[in-house]
Structure formats: structure tokens, C-alpha cells
Structure 1
């Protein structure tokens, strides 16, 4: 078979297997399709399928096919991160700045602290820190991975729980939006290349000027033109960030964050997010699974994942509980908000992919982080749904 035919076989597997598991297994309550796709990507990777059926794996996932899949995956995740940047609503966060800053600060800071502690434990053994990482980069990178909240997936889960448009859902979006900015800011710090500081400084200055001009241009365009120009902006800014050594996904976030949500129809933006998840993000999940590695041994990777999961959830719940005490929330409110904010999924996986690309973490550490992200997301709806059913009045609290 030629490369095109093998590529189409791979695409058939990518879309068929997770769909059948999701639909026939009726997993939607505890594992939405997006989570099943991530798990399937791991199962189809070298650590599981490649080890069980090496001949089959090497036949389907040839270097040429993997290169083609990676190209689709890059564009998919750039679109997804751009949408996450557009959906940031800092105006509402500023209107409720005391409450938002206290909650977002503790919800990010506490799991970051716990995650850095977990990273320190991992450093007691070799095989976790990447060859190009300084110790502080590894510790801060893993710590921030434990603190991440996946804003786009959080939106999907809150839609499922029917709280997205309710006051509590809008409050949670404010907290997650502030944390999203901090996450990408810390990532930029981790990726700062002191040998290329001039190039990175030049990019940031050029971006600031270009964003000002872009803002004025977009205000003069009809909405149908804005969608197309936004894609051009995405490609240009992502290229600039990658050229400067900050990684193209940092550029994708900057491209989205520099756009106003009001420039676009909200319903169309929701549809775009859903369509990106449906049409091309499954390829990203598969390409992510192809990067997993169990060379340290499955037991060590699972132990590392459990440690990171504990640090992530405990830190998030404790941080939000402290915020609730300061702000005098009702009993049970901090638990609901904390469990929703600990959702990791895609943003954490994107974050970990960047750390792996820059050789700050190893494939084994990446695999442990990936497992942590999957489990944290699977826990969200089963834990939160019963709490919401018992405490319905909290849904309508505005602060």
C-alpha cells in the first residue's frame, strides 16, 4: 500500500475506535467523547498497541503517516488554543476583581505549590526531567501542569451539567479565565531562551504593534471577513512565536487573546469549537498518544501519575476552600467550584506537549501527566452532578 492508503487507514481507526467505545459503552456520564478520544490515543500509541502488536503498529504508523498526522494536529490545536484565547472575558473579571482575584489566585497558587512539591519527589529518581531542562524549569513546568484548568473543556462539562449560563457557571469562567492568562505567562517564562532573548523581545514588541493595528482593522471589517482574517492572524502570530523560540502554541494563544469575543457571533464560535473537536482534534489526540512512553516501567509511570493527580486535586480543592472562607461562601459551594476548576483535559495536554517538545520533561513524565489529565477530567461530572442536585440554590448565587 502507498502512503495515502495507509494514512486513510489510520484516519479510519482514529475516528472509528473512540466513537464505538463511547457510543456502545455509553461512557458519556463519566467519560465524554473527548476523554475517550484521549484514552484511545494512548491505547493506540507505542506503549500499548505498539508493544502488543509491533508489526501492525509499524505498518500503520509509518514515519510518513505520522508526519502527515502531526501537520493536521498542529493546525487543530492552534485553532483550539486560539478559541480559548478569544473566549477569555476579562471585563467581567475586572467588574468582580476582588472575588475573582482571590479565588483565581488561590485556585492556581495552591495546586502550583503542591505540584512543585510532587515534581521535587519525581526528581529523586532519574528519567523524569528532560535533557535540556534546568531544575527550576522542570519543577515549575510540572507544578503549573498540576494547576491548569482546561477552560474549553470546562465549558463543555458545564454545558452538560446545565450551569454554563447560570451565575455560578459565569463565576467559574471568570476564575478560569484569569488562571488561563497566568498559565500562558508562566509557560512563556519557562520557555524563555536567554541566548535568544533579543529575538524574543523583538517578537513581543512587534506583536504589540501588530496587535494594535490588527485591532483597528478588525473593527472595520464585516463579521464574515473577520473569521478569515482571524485565521491569517493565527498563522502569522504562531509563526512569529515559534521563530522567537516561544513555541507556536504560545503564539496561538496570543493571537486569540488579542481578539475580542464580541467581534464574533457567540453561537458560531460555539459551533466552531464543537466542529474543531469533532473534525480534527481527534488527530491531535492520536498524535499525543504516539508520544507516550513506558520505558521506566508501567508501575513507575502510574505511581508518578497518581502522585501528580493527588497534588493537583488536593491543591485545587484546598485553594478554593480557602477562597470560600475568605469570601464567606455557602457550605458546599467551594467543593463544587473546586472540582470543576480541577478539570485538566486538553489544555494540560497541550501544555505538556510543549514541555515535551522543548525537552523539559521526558516521554515518561509526559505519559504520567497525560494519565493525570484524563483521570481528573473523568472525575468531574460524577463528583459534581450529585453535589449540584443537593445544592441547587448555589447555581444562582452571583458572588
Structure 2
């Protein structure tokens, strides 16, 4: 009697593909210098989506990615990204940014404002052609949403890349984290404004009021709990906040970020939090990357999508670099610092993809716009290490020449030499 393959068996086939294909590409191709495993997983998700695999092998695609399997993948991916956004919120250290509020405010303001402006200009150009704005999107929502996508810095990926360069724990690394942290808060604030639904304004106001009250009680509870219990309560808090935000029309990922940002990082062991972030990236996020890839589309034409992605990339890179260089001139940074910091803040990947997913869910953008934004995020992230690594070496060499010291013992407090093995292919 022939065996009828079950949904669970097809799901497991999909999971095997999700974890094996990007890993083999990353390991055998040795792509880590320009494309960390996270980026390879995102690219693989696009390749496995309907626009590539679905077009090349429609029978195979329909066999593996059935509606039931896609529902399971979307559910797992949603929980994975909620955990990831929660951790990103916890790791935001707004208190450090407040201590250096003038420098951080100027830099973060220009680093966010200028690429937001250039991104909005690119979005206005896209509005002149059909197929980019979603069915429920208003023109201002589309323009601001796409503009903000060009201005985003992915704080979690930025941390990973600075670890790779061995500057995360250096003073310059902490400076960059402060700038990115303020931008992260602003990004989610702008997103909340874009998602405001006047028909559900009562719900949204009610959620925010209830959230403030709940935060006071939650924080009092957490400081009284032993650390082992805080991890469990954290997950309950995440589910409740995400549900409340989604019920109010703000999207569950906004709730996940709010759930994390009101928690103090020192409530948890830092090493265990780092392990949780790495394990979520290892075990859960590949599912989100695939579910993201399944949403890509080339409905307005493949070449046009690539052209739009190139325009958005140009707006993002030039805007970010111009903004950071303006801040560097005002604050009188040392030569080379603005370029180094500007390129690191260009890192997008996860947060921009999450941001674009929300815009797509709310039908502010179309699948074609989502695909263009996804390609832009991948390109900008892949450019970071190859561009930044030689800039860092020149920055260290220049500082050493000015101080008369070897680069490894530079007197500049934020520019100690990184481990050479961390910036080579």
C-alpha cells in the first residue's frame, strides 16, 4: 500500500532544507567575510521563495511549501522574531546615550534624519509608477515607511559585526552602540505613528495606557523575583504585550519591542542573554528568514525590482554617510572616524526586514516593494565588512602615525587594534 506523505513529514523536509542549504553555502563557500551566515540565510530564503524556486520548479515548490506547511513556518517565524526583537529591546542602553546626550543626539539625529530624507525622495519617485504602494497604504505612510527603511540600522547585526572586528567592547564601539540605540528607539516610534489607525484609536490609546500601568507593576515584580524566574516571566510578558499591541492594531512586533525596552539588561546574566540571542539566531531565526523569502514577489518585473533596490540602496548609503559626516564636522571627530562609523551604521539586515514585514502585513507596501527593500538590506549589509575592515586598519595606522606609537598600542582610547584574524576572509 503506497504511503501518503503527511503534513508533518513535508514540514520536516522543509526544515531540513532551511538549515542545510544556507549552512552548506556559508561553510563551503567561505562567505563569512562579506556575507555572515545570517545574510546567507536571508538570501537562501529569497531563493527558496515563489519568485525563484517557485518559478524554476513549481511542482517541487508546491510539494514542499503547501499552505499548511507555510502556516506552521509563519507561526514559528513570528515567535522567533518576537524573541529577537525582545532581546534587541532589552539590550538597548538608553541610559548611556542620555549620559552623552549632546554628542549622541547630534550623531543619531543626522544619521537617521538625512537617510530618512533621501529615502523619502526615492519613495516619492516610486509613487509615480504603479505596483509599489499597498492597497491600504496612504501616500504619506508609504513615503515615510520606505524612507525610514532606508534609515534603519540593525542593532543586533551591528553587534555581531563589531564583535567580528573586535571593537564592540572598545570605547568607539560603545559610542556606535549609543548612536544606534537612539536611532532604534526613533525607528519604532516612527513606525508606531505610521501604523496609527484612526478607526481603532480608542483601542490604541487604551493599550498604551494599560501598558504604562502594567509596566510599573511588572518592573516591581521583576526586581523581587530570583533571576531563574525572570526568564519565564519575561516570556509571559512578551506574549501579553505582543497580543495587546496586535489587538490594538499596532502589530505584535511593536509590542515585542516595547516588552523588551522596559526591561533592564542587568536583571539578567549578560553571558546567558548573549547565549539566548545566539541560540535564537541559530535555532529559530532561519525559519523566519524562509517565511520572509516566501513573501518576495517580482510582480512588476524582475529588472524593475532590481532597479528600485539599487535606487533605495543609493539613497540609503549616501544619506547615512552624509548624515554621519555632518555630525563628525560639528563634533570635530578625528580623520577617518566619520567614514568608519557611517559604514557600520549602514548595517541593516534583520531590523529592516522586520520593519518591511510590518509594512507588508499592514498592506502599506506591496510584495514588489518588500522584495526591493529586502534586496537593499542584503546589499548594504554585505558591503559593510569589506568596506569597514580596511578603513579600520587605515584609521589605526593614521592614529599610530600621529601618536608615534604602534597601531596596537595607540593612545586613542577608542581605537585599539582588533585581532587581525577577525577582519580577514
Bin of the TM-score, shorter chain as denominator length: over 0.9
The TM-score with structure 2 as length reference comes to 0.93
Provide Cα deviations, 1:13-64, integer angstroms capped at 9, x if missing partner. 0000000000000000000000000000000000000000000000000000
| Pick aligned residue for 1:271 from 263, 267, 275 | 275
Given the alignment of the two structures, is residue 126 of structure 1 paired with residue 130 of structure 2, yes or no? yes
Structure 1, unpaired ranges of 5+: none
Given the alignment of the two structures, is residue 284 of structure 1 paired with residue 284 of structure 2, yes or no? no
Whole-Å Cα distance in 1 between the matches of residues 284 and 349 of structure 2?
16
Cα deviation for residue 81 of structure 1 reads 0.2
Whole-Å Cα distance in 1 between the matches of residues 57 and 230 of structure 2?
47
Alignment size in residue pairs: 398
The TM-score with structure 1 as length reference comes to 0.99
Tell me the residue number matched to 2:249. Answer: 245
Provide Cα deviations, 1:221-280, integer angstroms capped at 9, x if missing partner. 111111110000000000000000000000000000010001011111111110000001
Given the alignment of the two structures, is residue 5 of structure 1 paired with residue 22 of structure 2, yes or no? no
Given the alignment of the two structures, is residue 113 of structure 1 paired with residue 138 of structure 2, yes or no? no
After superposition, residues 43-122 of structure 1 pair within 5 angstroms as: 43-122=47-126
Given the alignment of the two structures, is residue 185 of structure 1 paired with residue 203 of structure 2, yes or no? no
Given the alignment of the two structures, is residue 165 of structure 1 paired with residue 182 of structure 2, yes or no? no
| Partner SS for 2:137 | coil
| Pick aligned residue for 2:227 from 223, 227, 236 | 223
Whole-Å Cα distance in 1 between the matches of residues 71 and 149 of structure 2?
26
Q: Contact 2:356/2:373 (CA < 8 Å) preserved in 1?
A: yes
| Partner SS for 2:231 | helix
The runs of at least 4 aligned residues of structure 1 exceeding 6 Å deviation read: none
Whole-Å Cα distance in 2 between the matches of residues 396 and 349 of structure 1?
34
Cα deviation for residue 397 of structure 1 reads 3.3
Provide Cα deviations, 1:164-218, integer angstroms capped at 9, x if missing partner. 0000100000000000000000000000000000000000000000001000000
| Pick aligned residue for 1:175 from 174, 179, 182 | 179
Cα deviation for residue 98 of structure 1 reads 0.5
Provide Cα deviations, 1:260-309, integer angstroms capped at 9, x if missing partner. 00101111111111000000100000000000000111100000000000
Q: Larger C-alpha radius of gyration, 1 or 2?
A: 2
Whole-Å Cα distance in 1 between the matches of residues 197 and 394 of structure 2?
50
| Partner SS for 1:383 | helix
Cα deviation for residue 396 of structure 1 reads 3.0
Whole-Å Cα distance in 1 between the matches of residues 227 and 320 of structure 2?
39
Cα deviation for residue 390 of structure 1 reads 1.4
Whole-Å Cα distance in 2 between the matches of residues 169 and 225 of structure 1?
32
Given the alignment of the two structures, is residue 326 of structure 1 paired with residue 343 of structure 2, yes or no? no
Kindly report the root-mean-square deviation, in angstroms, between the aligned alpha carbons of the 2 structures: 0.9
Whole-Å Cα distance in 1 between the matches of residues 266 and 6 of structure 2?
47
After superposition, residues 146-161 of structure 1 pair within 5 angstroms as: 146-161=150-165
Cα deviation for residue 76 of structure 1 reads 0.1
Given the alignment of the two structures, is residue 312 of structure 1 paired with residue 329 of structure 2, yes or no? no
Structure 2, unpaired ranges of 5+: 400-409, 416-425
Tell me the residue number matched to 2:414. Answer: 397
Tell me the residue number matched to 2:404. Answer: none
